[in-house]
Amino acid sequence: TGSSHYENLLISTPHSGVELITLNRPKALNALNSALFVELNEALKKADEDANVGAIVITGSDRAFAAGADIKEMKDKEYSDVYKNKFLENWTLISTIRKPIIAAVSGYALGGGCELALMCDIILASPTAIFGQPEINLGVIPGGGGTQRLARIVGKSRAMELTLTGRNFSAVEAERWGVVSRIVEPVEGKQKVVDEAVEMGKLIASKGQISVQAGKEAVNAAYESTLTEGLKVERRLFHGLFATKDQKEGMTAFAEKRQPNFTHQ
Ligand code: CAA
């Protein structure tokens, strides 16, 4: 477990290969102000560049993953500020991170908090997780990708309902709709979603980093291209992996009936 200079984040290494980033503005339910996002981007970039990190987990507290963009910081902004200064544009850095990011969500994941979870690669939820895009209640709409990502995941009718009514949705709905990959039940009253996300990170970190990155790139292509283009991306990446030592090692280990020792080369 390491320490850091961040004011709004806690960084730790619960298992070698797994970096855990905990959003830490408890008094504001982890509202995502600009200082927090600058730190989050920096932490993500560092983790992405760190050869020892194979997977990243982002979490909040039991009460809130994040209750949205910071409304108090936003309320007096003018159009000229938000337009000129590209307000929220730095939120897109997360989609340039090549290593897998798992969101472990308990409690509120509202507005920008829901959008942050949706920008991660995998979402695991506690039964207490409450998702929603309540921006309509503030006289705006989601600005961190919520309308687009929800529409792709849950379909038009549900994305419209959620965006236009601002109603929350539960962990059960999120699982049924495919927003989260699964709900992690608590054990003896203690939420286990972070432990489970770290376990998943550990498993991913045990694979070859190059093939993991290629897998992430290929799945993401499904959201950004036609089927024909996506299949081409997949085939190119698949072919390219035959130029790696990890492919030789993985397949040789299988033939020799032993565990592979991936060197990320
Ligand atoms: N921004 C700033 N502060 C926030 C916040 C937010 N998004 N969410 C909560 N807080 C603050 C509260 O103001 C309160 O601070 P004080 O103690 O100083 O008053 C503290 O966190 C605790 O919150 P509550 O007292 O409200 O706690 P609660 O348990 O009664 O309610 C809640 C919890 C239902 C999540 C409620 O806080 C809430 O509705 N929050 C706002 C949710 C929201 O609208 N999010 C969308 C933001 S807009 C956005 O995200 C734009 C985008 O697309 C990027």
Q: How far is CA 238 from CA 51, 131, 212, 234, 249, in A?
A: 22, 35, 11, 6, 16
Amino acid symbol at 256: E
**Site of tokens 């829901």:** 114
Between CA 192 and CA 195 the distance in angstroms is 5
Out of 168, 189, 205, pick the residue that ends a domain. Answer: 205
56 contacts 9 by C-beta, under 8 angstroms: no
Same domain, 227 and 201: no
Same domain, 171 and 119: yes
Same domain, 145 and 245: no
Residue 3 lies inside a defined structural domain of this protein: no
Same domain, 172 and 50: yes
In which domain, by residue range, is 150 found?
9-205
Out of 183, 205, 227, pick the residue that ends a domain. Answer: 205
Residue 232 lies inside a defined structural domain of this protein: yes
Compute the distance from residue 119 Cα to the ligand 1 centre, in Å: 20
Residue 4 lies inside a defined structural domain of this protein: no
**CATH number of the domain to which 136 belongs:** 3.90.226.10
Evaluated on CA atoms 67, 8, 104, 64, the torsion sign reads negative
Same domain, 173 and 120: yes
Q: What does the H/E/C string look like for 19-82?
A: EEEEECCHHHCCCECHHHHHHHHHHHHHHHHCCCCCEEEEECCCCEEECCECHHHHCCCCHHHH
Residue 264 lies inside a defined structural domain of this protein: no
Q: Is 67 in the pocket of ligand 1 (CB under 6 A)?
A: yes
Interface ipTM above 0.90:
yes
Between CA 146 and CA 159 the distance in angstroms is 9
Q: Whose CA is nearest to atom 19 of ligand 1?
A: 28
Q: Helix (H) and strand (E) counts for the chain?
A: 11, 10
Compute the distance from residue 67 Cα to the ligand 1 centre, in Å: 5
Shortest-distance atom of ligand 1 to CA 72: 2
Same domain, 157 and 197: yes
Between CA 239 and CA 85 the distance in angstroms is 42
Ordered per-residue pLDDT tens for the chain, 265 residues = 455 789 999 999 999 999 999 999 999 999 999 999 999 999 999 999 999 999 999 999 999 999 999 999 999 999 999 999 999 999 999 999 999 999 999 999 999 999 999 999 999 999 999 999 999 999 999 999 999 999 999 999 999 999 999 999 999 999 999 999 999 999 999 999 999 999 999 999 999 999 999 999 999 999 989 999 999 999 999 999 999 999 999 999 999 999 999 999 9
Same domain, 238 and 122: no
Residue 37 lies inside a defined structural domain of this protein: yes
Residue 38 lies inside a defined structural domain of this protein: yes
Q: Whose CA is nearest to atom 14 of ligand 1?
A: 28
Q: pTM value?
A: 0.97
Helix (H, G, I), strand (E, B) or coil at 169: strand
The verdict on whether 112 is a catalytic residue reads: yes
Same domain, 182 and 231: no
Same domain, 244 and 175: no
- Residue 265: exposed, middle, or buried by beta-carbon count in 10 A (0-12, 13-18, 19+)? exposed
Q: Whose CA is nearest to atom 28 of ligand 1?
A: 29
